[in-house]
Amino acid sequence: MTFRSPARATAVTALGVGALTLLGFGTATAAPETATWADNGTVYNRTISNTTPSAGDTITVSTKLERTNATDEQINWLKDWHPACLTYVVDSAKIIDSAGTHAVEPYLELNPEFIAGDFTATSYKVIIKEHFGDVQPATFSAQYKVGADCAKGVALTTGIEYLSNLGHHADFKTRGPAITVGGVPGGGTGGTGSAGSPLGALGSLLGGFGSSK
């Protein structure tokens, strides 16, 4: 009759958990990043919820626009530029301003490399302002699903472009942050236990913990 002592079973379990973490089977950690810049009295904070996603992941991209002087800026339209391998998540585009959260659809153009919100057609107006310390910014956000056709390990640029009463801002298409796609959903590296794979290596690590007679 075979049996396994509690101490040996505990050691195998601990080693297994440690080996899984070491070999990349732990919980994936999102890597959010923000790019900040300023131009013509407006400060931009553009945040991506995970700049190192895996294929199949969904990421959120948010751009906050904030005035630093007393001249109001009214946004006519805004394009959110993204790699063509990202797919826009329907109904996720939102604009958040001092009046609350507004849906952008159906006034949203979909293009393989950008989405564009037309705020001249909406029932609300997007106006950012700063009056005697009363700052009223606006944030445009949307979600995208990362496609399997995204180039792995390559920095893919993102950015914005928009038209306002203060002019056409066309120089921010690649201001970032960039995203770098890699791995598989969950942060693992794949493998089914074949020779040379992470699971195969795990099997070798655990091979020495056989049953006691």
Domain spans of the chain, in order of start = 33-180
Mean pLDDT, range 162-174, rounded to an integer: 96
Report pLDDT digits (tens) over 50-61. Answer: 999 999 999 999
Let me know: does 44 contact 14? Beta carbons within 8 Å.
no
Amino acid found at 83: P
Q: Is the pLDDT of residue 42 over 90?
A: yes
Most confident of 7-16, 36-45, 176-185: 36-45
Counted residue by residue, the chain has a size of 213
For residue 183, what pLDDT band results from cuts at 50, 70 and 90? low
- CA–CA distance from 47 to each of 124, 191, 195 (Å)? 24, 33, 41
Mean pLDDT, range 106-126, rounded to an integer: 96
The residue ranking higher by pLDDT, 209 or 130, is 130
Give the C-alpha separation, 20 to 23, whole Å: 5
Mean pLDDT, range 93-120, rounded to an integer: 96
Q: Centre a 10 Å sphere on the Cβ of residue 105 and count the other Cβ atoms it contains.
A: 13
Beta bridge partners of 116: 79, 109
Confidence (pLDDT) at 133: 84
Report pLDDT digits (tens) over 20-38. Answer: 333 444 445 788 999 999 9
Confidence (pLDDT) at 184: 57
Beta bridge partners of 85: none
Let me know: does 69 contact 38? Beta carbons within 8 Å.
no
Closest Cα to residue 42, out of 71, 82, 3? 71
Q: Is the pLDDT of residue 8 over 50?
A: no
Cβ neighbours for 186, distance < 8 A, ≥ 6 positions apart: 27, 28, 54
What's the mean pLDDT when you consider all of the chain? 81
In sign, the C-alpha dihedral spanning 110, 113, 152, 188 is negative
CATH classification code of 33-180? 2.60.40.700
Name the DSSP letter for residue 151: P
Q: Is the pLDDT of residue 137 over 50?
A: yes
Confidence (pLDDT) at 131: 86
The token pair that represents 84 in the structure block:
């063509």
